[in-house]
Structure 1
Amino acid sequence: MRGELRCPLCGFRTVPSAVPLPCPTCRVPLDYRPDPPAGSTAAGLTGRGVWRYAPFLPTVDPITLGEGGTPLIPSLRIGPRLGVNLLFKVEGTNPTGSFKDRGAAVLVAVLRSFGARAVADDSSGNAGAALAAYAARAGIRAVLYVPAHASGPKLAQIEALGAELVRVPGPRERATDVVREACAKDPDLLYASHNASPYFVAGLTTLAYELGEEGRIPDHVVVPVGGGGLFLGLVQGFAQLRDRGWIGRVPRLHIVQPEACAPLVRAGGGGDPVEPDPRATVAEGARIPRPKRGREVLAALGAVDGDAVMVGEEEILRGQAELAREEGIWVEPTAALAVAALPALIARGTIGPGEEVVLPLTGHGLKAVNPC
Structure 2
Amino acid sequence: MTEFHCPMCGVRSPVESLSWHCPECHGPWDLDFAASAVARNSLSGRVNSLWRYEEALPLSAAEARASVSLGEGRTPLVPLTGTVTAKLDFLMPTLSFKDRGAVMLAELARQLKPRRVIADSSGNAGTSIAAYCARAGLDCTVYVPAGTSPKKVEQIGAHGAHLEIVSGDREATARAARAAADEDGVFYASHVFNPYFLHGTKTYVYEIWEDLGGRLPETIVVPVGNGTLLLGAALAIDELYGHGLIDARPALIAVQAAAVAPLAFAFRAGADDVLADGAGRPDFPARTLAEGIAIPHPPRARQILTAVRATGGTFLTVTEEQIRAAQRDLAARGLYVESTGVACWAAVGAHGLDGRGTVLPLCGAGLKSGLASAP
Superposition TM-score, scaled by structure 2 size: 0.89
Equivalent residues of 2:141, 2:162 under 8 A apart: yes
Q: Tell me which of 59, 71, 76 is aligned to 2:76.
A: 71
1:358–1:179 distance in 2 versus 1, CA, 3 Å: same
Q: Which residue of 2 aligns with 1:342?
A: 348
1:220–1:329 distance in 2 versus 1, CA, 3 Å: same
Equivalent residues of 1:8, 1:296 under 8 A apart: no
Q: Tell me which of 86, 92, 95 is aligned to 1:94.
A: 92
Runs of 5+ consecutive residues of structure 2 not aligned to the other structure: 278-282
**C-alpha distance in structure 2 between counterparts of 1:42 and 1:9, whole Å:** 35
**C-alpha distance in structure 2 between counterparts of 1:147 and 1:181, whole Å:** 15
Asked if residue 364 in structure 1 is aligned to residue 361 in structure 2, the reply is no
1:11–1:56 distance in 2 versus 1, CA, 3 Å: farther
**C-alpha distance in structure 1 between counterparts of 2:178 and 2:12, whole Å:** 25
**C-alpha distance in structure 2 between counterparts of 1:20 and 1:301, whole Å:** 28
Q: Tell me which of 161, 181, 191 is aligned to 1:194.
A: 191
1:248–1:54 distance in 2 versus 1, CA, 3 Å: same
Using the TM superposition, name which of 193-202 and 207-216 deviates more.
207-216
Alignment of 1:241-252 (within 5 A): 241-252=240-251
Equivalent residues of 1:34, 1:56 under 8 A apart: no
Alignment length, in residue pairs?
Answer: 356
Equivalent residues of 1:40, 1:245 under 8 A apart: no
Secondary structure of the equivalent of 2:222? strand
**C-alpha distance in structure 1 between counterparts of 2:158 and 2:138, whole Å:** 15
CA drift of 1:29 comes to: 1.6
1:307–1:363 distance in 2 versus 1, CA, 3 Å: same
CA drift of 1:188 comes to: 3.0
CA drift of 1:251 comes to: 0.7
Q: Tell me which of 300, 308, 318 is aligned to 1:311.
A: 318
**C-alpha distance in structure 1 between counterparts of 2:181 and 2:15, whole Å:** 20
Given residue 70 of structure 1, which amino acid in structure 2 is its aligned partner?
T
**C-alpha distance in structure 1 between counterparts of 2:129 and 2:335, whole Å:** 25
**C-alpha distance in structure 2 between counterparts of 1:292 and 1:302, whole Å:** 18
1:18–1:244 distance in 2 versus 1, CA, 3 Å: farther
CA offset digits 1:255-302 (Å, max 9, x no partner) = 111111111101112153256432111111011111111111011111
Q: Which residue of 1 aligns with 2:280?
A: none
CA drift of 1:180 comes to: 2.0
Alignment of 1:1-372 (within 5 A): 1=1, 3-8=2-7, 15-17=14-16, 19-23=18-22, 27-35=26-34, 37=36, 39=37, 41-45=39-43, 46-60=46-60, 61-62=63-64, 63-75=68-80, 79-80=81-82, 85-184=83-182, 186-214=183-211, 215=213, 216-268=215-267, 269-270=270-271, 272-273=273-274, 276-325=283-332, 327-346=333-352, 351=353, 354-371=355-372
Given residue 197 of structure 1, which amino acid in structure 2 is its aligned partner?
N
1:335–1:279 distance in 2 versus 1, CA, 3 Å: same
CA drift of 1:8 comes to: 4.4
**C-alpha distance in structure 2 between counterparts of 1:345 and 1:111, whole Å:** 42
Given residue 71 of structure 1, which amino acid in structure 2 is its aligned partner?
P
1:305–1:18 distance in 2 versus 1, CA, 3 Å: farther
Using the TM superposition, name which of 209-218 and 230-239 deviates more.
209-218
**C-alpha distance in structure 1 between counterparts of 2:305 and 2:355, whole Å:** 27
Secondary structure of the equivalent of 2:74? coil
**C-alpha distance in structure 1 between counterparts of 2:32 and 2:52, whole Å:** 17
Equivalent residues of 1:218, 1:357 under 8 A apart: yes
1:356–1:194 distance in 2 versus 1, CA, 3 Å: same
Secondary structure of the equivalent of 2:122? coil
CA offset digits 1:11-59 (Å, max 9, x no partner) = 766553464454567653222353352x562344421211111222123
Runs of 5+ consecutive residues of structure 1 not aligned to the other structure: none
1:18–1:64 distance in 2 versus 1, CA, 3 Å: farther
Identity of counterpart residues, as a percentage? 41
**C-alpha distance in structure 1 between counterparts of 2:145 and 2:263, whole Å:** 21
1:265–1:88 distance in 2 versus 1, CA, 3 Å: same
**C-alpha distance in structure 2 between counterparts of 1:101 and 1:92, whole Å:** 10
Using the TM superposition, name which of 268-277 and 227-236 deviates more.
268-277
Secondary structure of the equivalent of 1:267? helix
